[in-house]
Amino acid sequence: MLGDDDMTKGLLRRTAKSLQEAGWMYEPPRSAEEGVPSALHPAPEPVIRWVSSFSLLSDSDESVWFLSRSDYSTGAEGAFAWNEFEQLSAQAATTDDEAIAVSRFWERHVPILLSVRDGYEYLAVRDDGAVVHGTEPEFEEAVVVFSDFEDLLRYIIARPTARNRIVERLLFDGTHVSDATLSP
């Protein structure tokens, strides 16, 4: 009988494969990394396993990408920091109360996917495990798209008939999908 660890590994592999079949670029994880980056400490274990399962996972033009484990390290290179949208919101805060609200929001959310395709947007995992979607200019006005992170992975694999408009647009450029098959 398969243990939870084996089932999770299979789910991660199938998710990455489904994205590759949809035209996403994938690179396997680099050598085993020691310790979990502090930015990932609040993340549920399945999220840590997910971000550790690849070194690159992005759409073909690299305008939408899942953050990898190395992205959360303080020394990671790249045009965007893993917490880029938190930094932008903190810079835009005009009062101490706004700055505190921004900080409190991001203490409870770990970004897992960033997009610059049609403006800035993201998917993040909230501290209760829900996956939320946020966009500029008010990144902290996020909406729940899945109640559980693994539901997002299962969705990517299955791509059901009743599709999630936000996730389809982000991951699969859902603009080509009939509105009749999309749910909010």
DSSP readout, 141-163? --EEEESSHHHHHHHHHH--SSE
pTM of the model: 0.86
Mean pLDDT, rounded, for 129-155: 97
The residue extents of the domains of the chain are 4-29+43-173
Tell me, what's the pLDDT at 157?
94
Q: Looking at per-residue confidence, does 174 or 24 come out higher? A: 24
Per residue in 95-105, pLDDT (tens digit) is: 999 999 999 99
Task: With residue 45 as reference, give the H or E element that holds it.
Answer: helix 45-51
Q: Which two tokens stand for residue 111?
A: 């970004």
144 forms bridges with which residues in the sheet? 132
pLDDT digits (tens, 9 = 90+) for 2-55: 345 666 789 999 999 999 999 999 999 987 667 899 999 999 999 999 999 999
Placement of tokens 């590994």 in the chain: 9
